[in-house]
Amino acid sequence: MSTRMNVLYLVRTWAIGGSHTIIFLLLRHLPKERFNIVCVPFDTPSKSDDAFVRALKLRDLPVASERVPWPSRLGWWTARNAISELIEKYDIDLIHTHDPQSNVLAGIGRNRWPCAVVASPYGWWARMFPLRSHVYNWVERSWALPNVDEVITVSQDMKRKILRGPTREDRINVIYTGLDPAEMQAGAPRAEVRAALGIPDDACVVGTVSRVYVEKGHTFLLDAVCQVADSVPQLHLLIVGEGPLRPALERQARGTGLSERVHFTGFYDDLPGALRAMDIFAQPSVLDEGFPTAVLEAQLAGLPVIASDVGGTGETMQAGKTGLLVPPRDVEALAQAMRTLAENPDRRAAMGAAGPEWIRRSFTLDDMVRRVSDVYEKAVAAYRARSGRQ
């Protein structure tokens, strides 16, 4: 394809997470001479969409002035009309949707769009309740994804879930998230971060980075710290992120008498610095993860990982070599893994040394960008051949 491709990114945000890391990387690293990305967030009552816009601007990444209006589910037709206007205004060759709502908006009634469509389902929770979550996933899997030209997802686990619906297997592309090692060189030094957060120099810090929502399993992590606290008196917990569960966690920490050893940062933009302050990284999720970027970033930063064995998490690690997998919601197993690493600095060091090598070998940014570019080219070529457009 000789001309520059105009690509429309549609992004509805509930909370900043791993999918946004992928979007940031693509906006920064897709070849500018081949792709012109028009990134359009949603206009919703949620503050999270505004947080996504702030995150883009903070990183000096492009974001369009337009918004897809979505005051409620009643805004379906208004949102689709806005997408049509964006396609015409920016002469769009391809839409890439990055969240369940956008996937459904673009996939159902897909023939309306005079361009190719690529959808990215990043992760689905394997649960029945609340029932609406199960219904949403079913609609996306059964009615939306089968209609798009190509699907990009992040793990073999997600591919298996998509294949429970009628999407053709040859249209599903598993592209692992690639990281830029240079980004982990930024940020504040370990001692500076610890001093700012009130963490002693000699503490063994178990940390986690995620939105503070119930599905991320913070409650189980705090319960595990309580079990280990007496036998590992130097153990501290660092919770990086913000969300509605935070007040309850703070009450839980006070109730256990560990408030001085549990540190909450809220929103914290210095990820490398936060990871540098830790000795062990924990990902205690209780619901399926698509392909948790935080686990990749922690290993790249040289941290041993303890993670729940859910969804595609096992694909991000070398279990036993770069970290330990434990059953979700199992406080005993989580506490034992924590104790094992906290009391064995040599094993922590060995796992920490193996992590960056594993990430650099298996999850390269160049490979991710190349493969996404190839999917875009394939989708547009197929659409043009099908529609008779040149």
| Contact in structure between 18 and 105 (CB atoms under 8 Å) | no
Q: What is the pLDDT of residues 27-65, one digit of tens each?
A: 999 999 999 999 999 999 988 899 999 999 999 999 999
Other CB atoms within a 10 A radius of the CB of residue 161 amount to: 21
Beta strands 116-119 and 172-174, pairing class: unpaired
As given in the structure block, the two tokens for residue 65 are: 């002035």
User: What pLDDT band is residue 178 in, cutting at 50, 70 and 90?
Assistant: very high
Q: What average pLDDT does the segment 238-251 reach?
A: 94
Rounded to whole angstroms, the Cα distance separating 256 from 146 reads: 50
Nearest to 295 by CA among 353, 211, 209: 209
What is the reported pTM?
A: 0.89
Q: How far is CA 364 from the centre of its chain?
A: 16
CATH T-level fold of 181-362: Rossmann fold (3.40.50)
| Angstrom distance (rounded) from CA 52 to CA 12 | 9
Provide the pLDDT for residue 269: 84
Q: Name residues whose C-beta falls within 8 Å of residue 49's C-beta, 6 or more positions apart in sequence.
A: 12, 13, 41, 42, 43, 67
Segment 290-296 mean pLDDT? 93
Q: What is residue 243's three-state secondary structure?
A: coil
Given a cut of 70, is residue 88 above it in pLDDT?
A: yes
Burial environment of residue 241 by CB neighbours within 10 A (0 to 12, 13 to 18, 19 or more): buried
Whole-number pLDDT of residue 1: 44
Strands 94-97 and 305-308: unpaired
For 184, residues 6+ apart whose C-beta sits below 8 A from its C-beta are 272, 275, 297, 300, 301
Looking at the predicted structure, is the pLDDT value of residue 81 above 60? yes
Q: Decide if 322 contacts 304 (C-beta within 8 A).
A: yes
User: Which CB contacts under 8 angstroms, 24+ apart, belong to 94-97?
Assistant: 94/5, 94/6, 94/7, 94/8, 94/118, 94/376, 94/379, 94/380, 94/383, 95/7, 95/8, 95/10, 96/7, 96/8, 96/9, 96/10, 96/120, 96/152, 96/376, 97/10
Confidence at residue 63, expressed as pLDDT on a 0 to 100 scale? 97
Q: Answer whether residue 126 shows pLDDT above 70.
A: no
Return the structure tokens found at 272: 């490398």
Identify the three-state secondary structure at position 196.
Answer: helix
Average pLDDT of the chain is 94
CATH number of 5-178+364-387, picked from 3.40.50.2000, 3.40.50.10170, 1.20.1260.10, 3.40.630.10: 3.40.50.2000
Share of the chain above pLDDT 90, in %: 86
Task: Please write down the long-range contacts of 263-267, taking CB distance under 8 Å and 24 or more positions apart.
Answer: 263/197, 263/198, 263/199, 263/236, 263/237, 263/238, 263/239, 264/239, 265/197, 265/238, 265/239, 265/240, 265/241, 266/241, 266/242, 267/241, 267/242
As beta bridge partners, residue 96 has: 9, 118
The average pLDDT across 233-259 equals 94
Predicted confidence at residue 18, as pLDDT, reads 86
Report how far residue 238's alpha carbon sits from residue 207's, in angstroms, rounded to the nearest whole number. Answer: 4
Confidence of residue 127 (pLDDT cuts 50, 70, 90): low
At 305 the pLDDT is 98
Cα–Cα distance measured from residue 290 to residue 17, given in angstroms and rounded to the nearest whole number: 11
According to the model, what pLDDT value does residue 180 have? 87
Q: How far apart are CA 58 and CA 53, in angstroms?
A: 9
Query: What one-character-per-residue DSSP string does 39-103 give?
Result: EEEEE-S-HHHHHHHHHHHHTT----S--EE-SSGGGHHHHHHHHHHHHHHTT-SEEEE-SHHHH
- Alpha-carbon gap, residue 7 to 117, rounded angstroms: 10
**Terminal-to-terminal C-alpha distance of the chain:** 10
What would the pLDDT profile of 313-365 be if each residue is shown by its tens digit? 999 999 999 999 999 999 999 999 999 999 999 999 999 999 999 999 999 99
| Distance separating alpha carbons of residues 174 and 289, to the nearest angstrom | 15
Give the per-residue pLDDT at 123: 86
Taking CA atoms, 375 is separated from 77, 171, 314, 387, in Å, by: 29, 9, 25, 18
* Domain residue extents for the chain: 5-178+364-387, 181-362
Question: Would you give the distance in Å from CA 186 to the centre of its chain?
Answer: 20
366: its two tokens: 């160049």
